[in-house]
Amino acid sequence: MRLIREARLRDLLPAGSPGRLEASGVIAVDGRYLVIFDNLRAVARIDADLSRVAANDLVPTVSGKSAGYEDIARDPITGHLFLLVESTPRNGGHQAMVEEYDQRLRPVTNGWMEYPLSRPNKGMEGLEFVRRDEGVRLLGLHESGGLLVFAPGARNWKHVATVDLPADLGLADYSGISLSGNRLALISQQSQKLWVGELAPDKWAATGPGHIFSFPYGYCTVEGVCWLGPDRIVVVSDRSKRGSQPRLCRDEEESLHLFDIASADGEDRAHERLE
């Protein structure tokens, strides 16, 4: 895996933006990256060339009980955005919630993802939007429980299937998902790895073992991921854990990173950090 370019999120947003930007999800839309954070109820809109331009901004979402979001997904037909709240108390237990917004980040609706979670900090880490012949589906990536399929109900999202993934992906946890066509990417923060596989078009199952790629040394907090092309991804990184992770992890925290996961000519590519 080759780093192409990266930048600190704080260097891309206007003066006066929060200093702590615990990035947890990203999608690419119309030449911009939309980034969400698990410590902010807001969406950052950042130009895709990773430069500080006047159009970059941080848009607050509606007030709510959660501190922030774990991932973001988009319906390419309507342009609506789906923001994932990892875990929220409900009926004596916990469930994830999805908030839906229109293209201008105006609230549309929200609903529970009806799947029981064992505790508040072990919930849904990734979200992807899918349209198939049977209709709209959301893929919810459970931190330790795999990839779950949800169908819309009268108000909430009903768990209807679980994706059959290879038995041993070699990932210690799940922290992000992206689907482009049938090409599926899953990332693990603990393992600092990316798994790439194919999702069958007619059933909820991977079609083979897929491939594992390692992030460069020091990328300890990779969270959200989004496909940019057949072999290129954008990844965001969370804040490093001061008490349990090495100091070097701070070098790559709270940033946007562009990677090539395969090079057509096999040659090294140049990379840079924007400061």
List the domains of the chain with CATH numbers.
2-274 (2.120.10.30)
Q: Give the Å distances, CA to CA, from 209 to 121, 149, 227, 254.
A: 29, 20, 19, 31
Q: How far apart are CA 120 and CA 95, in angstroms?
A: 8
Considering only CA atoms, which of 210, 215, 226, 230 is closest in space to residue 176? 226
pTM of the model: 0.93
Residues near 106 by beta carbon (within 8 Å), at least 6 away in sequence: none
Q: What is the pLDDT of residue 168?
A: 83
Q: Give the Å distances, CA to CA, from 268 to 8, 147, 192, 202.
A: 23, 34, 21, 38
Q: Mind listing the pLDDT tens digit for each residue in 157-182?
A: 999 999 999 988 889 899 999 999 99
All residue ranges of the chain with pLDDT < 70 are: 120, 263-275
Measure the CA angle with vertex 174, ends 102 and 155; round to 5°.
35
Cα of 67 vs its chain's centroid, Å: 17
- Cβ 73 vs Cβ 81: under 8 Å: yes
Q: How far apart are CA 156 and CA 242, in angstroms?
A: 37
Write the DSSP assignment of 157-168 as a string of letters.
EEEEEE-B--S-
- Cβ 126 vs Cβ 71: under 8 Å: yes
Q: What is the pLDDT of residue 273?
A: 44
Place of tokens 């969370």: 238
Q: What is the pLDDT of residue 63?
A: 85
Write the DSSP assignment of 189-244 as a string of letters.
TTTTEEEEEEB-SSSSBBSS--EEEEPPTT---EEEEEEEETTEEEEEE----TTT
Q: How far apart are CA 9 and CA 14, in angstroms?
A: 10
Q: What is the pLDDT of residue 269?
A: 36
Q: How far apart are CA 228 and CA 183, in angstroms?
A: 12
